[in-house]
Structure 1
Amino acid sequence: MGMLQGCTSPVAPSPTPNPHPQQTLKLKITVEKNSLVNRVEVLTSWVVTNLSCAPIGYPAGNRVIKQVDVPEQVEKVGDYYVATIVKDRYLSDKCRWVGGGADVRFMHDDYLLSADGVNSDVMRGERDDVVTCLTRPFVNAGACGLRDEEKLYKSEDKHAFNATVELIK
């Protein structure tokens, strides 16, 4: 009697939390007044940079990589929001976990209106992210684009809004 033996997927590595993080940066997130946004969430993405520590998935032979998305603390301060990003969230290990950017989610209560990916040059203070955001008129999540397109976006979506993300120095 023949028997099929199933293969299980190898488990991708997980980072080890730093019990005493010391390094943070703060992002100031400003949203246009009179928009539907009444809450902001920020998630940071963490990825492995040493691919040799990721297991090989069979039968394809590819490395099994895991991205870890972590919610960061966001508080409303007057007319803007401040997100505190923990830069040393994980202990150094052979996999070398690094932060790969942040995702700013513009919410109305529990409803996701739009999202904006914030890359490392904004988080290093080299530039501000100045965008106009659509509010899900055509897709599951609205996207933010260059402020240069504000007139077009706002003609297409009556709830589109402007937002700015900048490093607080």
Structure 2
Amino acid sequence: MNPEPRWLSDREQRAWQAYRRMFLLLNAQVSRDLARDSSLSDADYDVLSNLGSRPEHRGRVSEIADRMLWSRSRLSHHLARMEQRGLLVREECATDGRGAVVVLTEEGLRAIEDAAGPHVESVRRYFIDLLTPEQIDAFAEIGETVVGGLTAADTGTSGPAKKKAARR
């Protein structure tokens, strides 16, 4: 027999619905701006920015997949399309014959550098500039707490250790 669901209070329902609408509307708007301003998708931007911030602009496919919360297969298909567009190249991993390394091309580096300014302006316009500094701090803390709880659930951490991990 299933226990009775712990229904959301009006206050909790308001918070959940506000988050869901904000998430959908904000992601859609920022994605539209990114595509309009740079012809990059969110996934393209995530891959390029991830590589752009790494030494020598290179990274293992497995690490990028983990960071993006994608399967390696899904990422591999996306990387193939990006490779066809000249944004990156794939190389065999020197230390692991089974692994692959992705490297930004000059065109890929230019694409992320050109996209970054307009993208951050979009994030500012539709998110950051609408909030007070206190709201930004609260939002960051809330996000870190929820992410910590979700990642702790994946690793089996629970209770106080989960809260401590979320604050790191």
What range is the shorter-chain TM-score in? under 0.3
Q: TM-score, normalised by structure 1?
A: 0.24
Query: Comparing both chains, which one has the higher relative contact order based on Cα–Cα distances under 8 Å and sequence gaps of 6 or more?
Result: 1
* Higher helix residue share: 2
* Higher strand residue share: 1
Q: TM-score, normalised by structure 2?
A: 0.24
